[in-house]
Structure 1
Amino acid sequence: MKKAYGLIVALLLLAPVALNSARAQDTLRAAAVVNDDVISVLDLSLRTRLAIASIGAKDSPEIRQRLTPQVLRALIDERLQLQEAKRLSLEPTEQEVEEAFAAIAQGNNMSPEQFTEVLRQNNVLPTAVKDQARAELAWRGVVERRIRRQITISNEQIGAEIERLKGQDGQLQYRIAELFLSVDNPGDEARVSENIARLADEIRKGTPFQAVAKQFSQSSTASVGGDLGWVTLDQIDPAVARAVQGLQKNGLAGPIRGTAGYYIVGLIDQRTFRLGEQLIDTRAIALPVRPGTSAEVIEQRMAQLAAIQPRIESCTNLQTLAKEAGEDAVVRDTGRQRPQDLPPDVARAIEGVAVGQASAPFRRADALIIAVVCGRDSSGIDRKRVEERLVQEQIELRARRYLRDLRRSADLDIRI
């Protein structure tokens, strides 16, 4: 109770609004109880404000009402993930949480102190961001310990996948963005259906798909804004495949009831896959740029990228070098693509760049980027990449089942 009371005092300091004792007591009221762990109305309110700010929407009673159910679901999942990490003695340290908070701040081109002040101006306590980071770190540790180390892909599995890929010659491939919410029990059907309908409504009203997917999607693609990459129709849920076939470029479909839950999907692009075509394998080191960032800060960050560019000699050490450019730097695997499928700015940047070398830094609206050429070859099938993708698919599938089982076995009491 002391911790919750401290949060209320802090919130009163942030928002100079006179609250009577009845309203203050309401913030202590449980929105849900997860295995005796209370999620308060205050927790839910703060996280909803954070979600609204994260997707760039304007705060209003209407949008809070639409987003609150899915925010509560996310909070419940986070409590389950934290409880499992605690059971396995895999809880992140406070230093790791603070480092994650600092990385998020840097990703918004701010110091932790500046980021904290921006949160306060939006009546969001920094603990809302730190709690979210804590849960993500905890679950990452659980997945690594309980899932990743247990996965082995056999030569037979790799061979079968290679044969399947060979059969794609001449087929259409689709680059898809997805937002996924699972349905773990029949009793969840109506609630999940309503939640994803609200999210689809937000996207159709103009909220960026990428922002909503990052905040709410339960797929592993959430970290990249829902970008599933290039796939053929036989690689995705049949109901999603039927919907994608009816889409034009940049079109949106959903909610779609799939085998394991509901989807919203967008078609980014499509192409015909040809074995033997010239392909360029690229990676990108990206530093995010927040809207309104000053020219001075952008210049400083461009200099950080420029400093590591001459030291790039292959694609094996990009993660280490990226962190030298900034804690918020992200290495994006853009994969092997035909030259004509590359984004125009990437194609221009890597013109004349040798394999293992990097382009000069260039700017997009939302990021500063160095493009790295990892290879130039024909569109044969890379056995190592096939194995890596099969491993990742298994991790996602097993992690989803793991969390589903935690939900099913939980003593859950939703009170709002």
Structure 2
Amino acid sequence: MKVFSKSCALLAAAGLMGLAAAPAPTGAQTQAQPTADNPFGLPQDFSIFGSEESGERSATAVVNGYVITGTDIDQRVALVTAASENELSEQELQRLKVQILRNLIDETLKIQAAQALEMAVERSEVETTYQQLAVQNFGQNPERMDEYLRSIGSSPTALKRQIEGEIAWDNLLRRNVIPFVNVSIEEVNEVLKRMEDSRGTDEYRLGEIYLSATQENRAAVLQNAQAIMEQLRQGGSFVAYARQYSEASTAAVGGDLGWIRLGQLPPALGNAAREMQPGQLQGPIEIPGGFSILYLINKRQVLMANPEDAVLSLRQISIDFPTDMTQEQAEAKVNEFATFVQSLRGCADAERARQEIGATVVANDQITAGSLPEQLRSIILNLQIGQTTPPFGSPQEGVRVLMLCGRDDPPDVGAPTAAQIEDQIKEERISKRAQRYLRDLRNDAYIEYN
């Protein structure tokens, strides 16, 4: 990439003058040789000439003549942070702006590449997508989208620019990448065979935010990934952050990788996912070429029925506490309730709780296991018909148990079709080629940082 900075020439000159004036070293030094881990042969000990902050904290840029302003960055930052209720520190905000600038540069390169190939995105297409988003978020009042964006410090223009970049990139991939990705029937059959051999093993539905890194910018990218991770832990939307930050082709779908087995992942990601539970985040994890943040959406077994799809018949038996009951009295009543529940002889006997202890009994014959709170789900899926959960609740909301009265398990999941396997392999290859394509656009760009 050809990068021109107003300060770089001065710093380079100062560095060269400093080197010229420096006394020759008294002892001979051996220059580091390039290796697989150090392809540039960078020395272990060196001095920085000029400011370490030069360029890294630049606020704006000109990309092949297109100006990215501070306002562009601020409005895009507002789009990202609107979903988080936590205020960013000054340091976190600065790192976010640096990453946003990188994203805007990539976005601009994609739009320019489409224009150069006479594939410029039609304004009507951008407006249609924008209106669809407005309807999704504001229903019958899509005009409120403009008002909302301005209220958070962003603008319709900022979101429409992002939409244009996504459409342009999709069009470029459809023309320059996708037609050249082929999958043979032998490859598909091999995957199907491996899946059948793996029947009953775990597979994972994962979300990923991928940030590419080189040895030169590794530290900065790691800092950005750590800042994103912190925002996600504080309640930020994974889908929103993936769409904004991830450099993988899955960014357009919120980072969703779909259902995959650990063997399909780089070892570092596979090892991390193996230890995760649904709803858990992990990262940043260093992999060849950059860093990833993982979110485990769900987990199931290959070609097996998902227990969470089981349809359950449950009886809820509950008691309430008077507001003036002491803690000691409440504990005694809970113990009495638990003892009574243990005496019930199945679901036909559940109504006795209403008559003998004044409990409330509610039936639900069509509830899926996956809709239950996670703590209860694992307990209930291990119950036999007629058994109950331990008592749960609070003095304010009462104490209750759930009794399992029936369970209809879903049929085993069949193997995916050959077409589905082919699409998955294609998607993986398209993602890798898309990354190389974007890297080439960066290398050929003229970028001036202000």
Answering whether residue 142 of structure 2 is matched by residue 142 of structure 1, we say no
| Equivalent position to 2:210, from 180, 183, 194 | 180
User: Could you tell me the TM-score, scaled by structure 1's length?
Assistant: 0.65
1:250 counterpart residue number: 279
Please tell me the root mean square deviation across aligned C-alpha atoms, in Å.
2.9
CA distance in 1, matches of 2:104, 2:281: 27
The structure richer in helix per residue is 1
CA distance in 1, matches of 2:189, 2:274: 29
The CA deviation at 1:398 is: 1.3
Change (3 A) 1:57 1:75: farther
The CA deviation at 1:48 is: 1.2
1:17 counterpart residue number: none
1:108 counterpart residue number: 137
Amino acid at match of 2:235: G
1:335 counterpart residue number: none
1:85 touches 1:91 (CA, 8 Å); kept in 2? Answer: yes
1:279 touches 1:377 (CA, 8 Å); kept in 2? Answer: no
2:207 touches 2:256 (CA, 8 Å); kept in 1? Answer: yes
1:101 touches 1:112 (CA, 8 Å); kept in 2? Answer: no
Amino acid at match of 2:226: A
Secondary structure in structure 1 of the residue aligned to 2:134: helix
2:334 counterpart residue number: none
Change (3 A) 1:113 1:170: closer
2:303 touches 2:413 (CA, 8 Å); kept in 1? Answer: no
Amino acid at match of 2:425: L
Secondary structure in structure 2 of the residue aligned to 1:92: coil
CA distance in 2, matches of 1:401, 1:231: 23
Structure 1, unaligned stretches of length 5 or more? 1-28, 282-339, 346-374
Matches within 5 A, 1:88-237: 88-109=117-138, 111-183=141-213, 185-237=214-266
Change (3 A) 1:98 1:269: closer
Answering whether residue 419 of structure 2 is matched by residue 384 of structure 1, we say yes
Larger Rg: 2
Answering whether residue 298 of structure 2 is matched by residue 264 of structure 1, we say no
Change (3 A) 1:95 1:139: same
Answering whether residue 78 of structure 2 is matched by residue 49 of structure 1, we say yes
CA distance in 2, matches of 1:132, 1:155: 37
| Equivalent position to 1:70, from 99, 102, 107 | 99
Change (3 A) 1:154 1:104: same
1:401 counterpart residue number: 436
CA distance in 1, matches of 2:100, 2:440: 20
The CA deviation at 1:77 is: 0.7
Amino acid at match of 1:394: R
1:197 touches 1:255 (CA, 8 Å); kept in 2? Answer: yes
Amino acid at match of 1:271: R
Amino acid at match of 1:231: I
The CA deviation at 1:377 is: 7.3
1:97 touches 1:134 (CA, 8 Å); kept in 2? Answer: yes
Answering whether residue 63 of structure 2 is matched by residue 34 of structure 1, we say yes
Secondary structure in structure 2 of the residue aligned to 1:206: coil
2:238 touches 2:254 (CA, 8 Å); kept in 1? Answer: yes
2:262 touches 2:270 (CA, 8 Å); kept in 1? Answer: yes
The CA deviation at 1:74 is: 1.0
Change (3 A) 1:246 1:377: closer
2:242 touches 2:254 (CA, 8 Å); kept in 1? Answer: yes
The CA deviation at 1:142 is: 0.7
The CA deviation at 1:254 is: 0.8
User: Could you tell me the TM-score, scaled by structure 2's length?
Assistant: 0.60
1:171 touches 1:272 (CA, 8 Å); kept in 2? Answer: yes
Deviations 1:27-65 (A, max 9, x none): xx9611222322111211121122222x34456563533
